[in-house]
Structures are given as structure tokens and as C-alpha cells.
Amino acid sequence: MSITVQDVTSCGNTLPITGVTASGNQKGYPPSNVLDNNLNTRWSSKGVGRFIRADLGSIQNICSIDIAWYKGNERVYNFAIATSTDGTTFTNVLTSSSSGTTLNSEKYIISSTNARYVRVTVNGNNVNNYAQITELDIFGPSAASLSSTHNYEPSLTLSGPSS
Ligand SMILES: [Ca+2]
């Protein structure tokens, strides 16, 4: 295997999401509401550990997940992000909390990884145990980042045991 360090500041290539599913939702708040580019619509599900899962349609290189939270300017959500290539085996890539300061999307940078599925599991917020997301976007490295990654590869590639 090899790991290539890249410039995360150029993680700006929006990846099309072909579908989104969830562990469940409140009536009238389906998971598809996170894909409509409207901060006034949301996916909502009551309970700790509820998740929403986005499908990119094929394996892509991912470097950030952007999430806008319902009442994100006053509630701090606890969440974990995991990715998968096959939709069955998920690997946790980030455990964090939202800032509680904005209604707009917050950008969560992860180590560059190849995945088709991105799952966001919400473990409540500081007000209640609802998982509520208004928008979800997934980004890959931009062209500039791909170029610099290629240039740096010889000195920044770590080799592990071959399998
Ligand atoms: Ca929305």
C-alpha cells in the first residue's frame, strides 16, 4: 500500500451523490432533504446513533465531508463519519462535534481515502437526542491538489508490507 500526503486546502471538488439512505426518519423529514441545496429542509431522526449514508455511485477519492446542521448555530452535535468501498465494511475516519456557531455547512477534513459510501452517525446534541442535518456534501481533491500529490509522491509515499 501507499499513503500520499496532499494539500487539504484544495479539497474543493464536489462529488455527485447518487443516493442517500438513513437508519430512519421522522415523517416529512426524509434523508433526501440533505441533497436539495436548501438549508430550510432537513433529515430528522430521533435517537442516539441514528445514521445517514450517502452513495457516490462508484469508488472516489474523498478528502472532506461538509455538513450543515439544523439549528447548527445553537446546537452542538456529536457525530462520527465512516467510509466504505462496498457498503458492508465501514471504517471510522472522524469522530467530532459541530461548532454550534453556524447554520451553514461546516467542512470536516479527513485523511484522503477511497470510498463509495460515506456514513454519518449522530450521537445526539447538547439539547436533545435528535439527529438533524440540513445539507450534506462530499468533496474530492481539486485538480491543483491532484497535481501536487503527484509531484510529492516519491518523497511522501510510505510503503507497507506487500500482500
Ligand atoms: Ca436541505
Ligand 1 center–CA 158 separation, angstroms: 40
Q: Give residue 28's pLDDT.
A: 98
List the domain boundaries for the chain: 24-141
Ligand 1 center–CA 41 separation, angstroms: 4
Q: Give residue 8's pLDDT.
A: 43
Ligand 1 center–CA 90 separation, angstroms: 25
pLDDT band at 79 (very low <50, low <70, confident <90, very high): very high
Ligand 1 center–CA 87 separation, angstroms: 24
Is the per-residue pLDDT at 147 higher than 60? no
Mean pLDDT of the chain: 90
The amino acid at 106: E
Q: Would you identify the CATH topology of the domain 24-141? A: Jelly Rolls (2.60.120)
pTM for this entry = 0.83
Q: Give residue 1's pLDDT.
A: 55
Ligand 1 center–CA 35 separation, angstroms: 6
